[in-house]
Amino acid sequence: MIGYYIHHHGHGHRTRAASICAHLDSPVTALSSAPLGESAGVFDDVVELPRDDRAVESAQDPTAHDVLHWVPVHDDGLRERMHVLGSWIAATRPRLLVVDVSVEVTLLARLYGIPVVVLAMPGARTDTPHTLAYSVADHLIAPWSREVYDPVCLHRYADRTSWVGGISRFDGRPAPDRTPRDRPRVLVASGSGGSSFTVRDLQELGERFPQYEWRGLGVAGGPWTADPWPALVDADVVIGHAGQNTVADIAAAARPAVVIAEERPFDEQHATATALDGAGLVVGLTGWPDPAGWPELIERARALDPVEWKRWQVDGAAARAAAVLDGLAGTP
């Protein structure tokens, strides 16, 4: 049995876990506070964990003097969460625990003597908690292409890191025929992790630059779309943030893109956008531009060769990650 811890923020961690576990030969139990929805069917079992973030404003010493990320003292949710996790580990004795992502869960599993695989994250992960988690991990999986992005913070763990490529739930999905149109279609795509772009911003861009057909996908104030694939593949240019799932999905669709870094801890998206821009895969920005600059940015993106997205190595990435886990768990 493999345990797979899934962080509850946004949809990205759940989507990635489901993509990987669909290829596993080993039985797998998902452990998460997040409702897994349709993804739950991929797992052999699901353990719902108590939330540990109900009292954020009153949290006391949540970082344990900057050694960890979230361990508020005398917090009932944290105590119950760790109790459920520890009880499951003791009863199940998994061959392996995959952690995406939590320094504290990584340490808990390793203290129980369970090998741990950590999903690495982009950005400057040189703080004490990340260094601690990466150091005790038996293996790291980096869900991006090392050719395009090779952060210095992972160099010391290179002998136990697998760079599997960007993991997209759309890997291998056929693309429908694109719709003929008079104006280039610009798709502004957002994710559940949060964005500074709103429906009103989209309306203003449409009014200011009518030479493009503007569409929104998951932007703040608009509807959430469970299946963005048809809209992605039908776009002439995609404008999206630099989150790992969004980038991988754009790569799977092989569309020209302007990728903009949203503010995230450890400069996660800044690092990704900068690497993609430097490699010539996208027009990468570290913040939202002056609106007057959109036509120039869009035309720069349209001039890019979408074939370059192959370098992000989306094809087969989830299967490669699953093969790593099966190998470490001892599954033939």
Domains along the sequence of the chain with CATH: 2-167+315-329 (3.40.50.2000), 185-312 (3.40.50.2000)
pTM above 0.85, yes or no: yes
Nearest C-alpha neighbor of 143 from the set 126, 118, 115: 118
Mean pLDDT for 291-298 is 96
What is the separation of C-alpha 247 from the centre of its chain, rounded to a whole number of angstroms?
Answer: 9
Mean pLDDT for 109-123 is 98
The percentage of the chain sitting over the pLDDT mark of 90, rounded to a whole number, equals: 83
**Which pLDDT belongs to residue 193?**
52
**Confidence band for 141, pLDDT divided at 50, 70 and 90:** very high
**CB under 8 Å to 243, separation ≥6 — which residues?**
12, 191, 193, 262, 264, 269, 272
**Which pLDDT belongs to residue 24?**
97
Mean pLDDT for 195-205 is 84
Average pLDDT value for the chain: 93
Axis crossing angle, helix 76-92 with helix 103-111, rounded to the nearest 10: 40
Bigger pLDDT: 144 or 179? Answer: 144
pLDDT greater than 80 at residue 224? no
Query: Which of 9-18, 22-31, 237-246, 311-320 has the lowest average pLDDT?
Result: 9-18
Bigger pLDDT: 159 or 11? Answer: 159
**Which pLDDT belongs to residue 291?**
92
φ, ψ for residue 176, nearest 5 deg: -65, 160
Place of tokens 């039985």: 27
For 220, which DSSP code?
B
**Confidence band for 180, pLDDT divided at 50, 70 and 90:** confident
Query: Which of 90-104, 160-174, 209-223, 270-284 has the lowest average pLDDT?
Result: 209-223
CB 162 within 8 A of CB 313: no
In terms of Cβ atoms closer than 10 Å to its own Cβ (0-12, 13-18, 19+), residue 35 is exposed
Q: What is the token pair recorded at 321?
A: 């990650």
Q: What is the pLDDT of residues 225-241, one digit of tens each?
A: 888 999 999 999 999 99
Q: How far is CA 18 from CA 168, 245, 302, in A?
A: 10, 12, 32
Nearest C-alpha neighbor of 109 from the set 5, 30, 264: 5
Q: What is the pLDDT of residues 28-52, one digit of tens each?
A: 999 999 888 888 899 999 999 999 8
Mean pLDDT for 11-38 is 93
Beta strands in the chain (DSSP E): 2-6, 28-32, 45-48, 96-100, 116-119, 139-142, 161-163, 185-189, 213-217, 237-241, 257-260, 283-285
Q: What is the token pair recorded at 143?
A: 């869900």
Q: In what order do the strands lie in the sheet with 257-260?
A: 213-217, 185-189, 237-241, 257-260, 283-285
Q: What is the pLDDT of residues 64-113, one digit of tens each?
A: 999 999 999 999 999 999 999 999 999 999 999 999 999 999 999 999 99
pLDDT greater than 80 at residue 189? yes
**Confidence band for 218, pLDDT divided at 50, 70 and 90:** confident
**Which pLDDT belongs to residue 225?**
80
| Highest mean pLDDT (candidates 3-12, 15-24, 191-200) | 15-24
Mean pLDDT for 245-265 is 96
3-class SS string, 146-201: CCCCCCHHHHHHHHHEEECCCCCCCCCCCCCCCCCCCCCEEEEECCCCCCCCEHHH
pLDDT greater than 60 at residue 249? yes
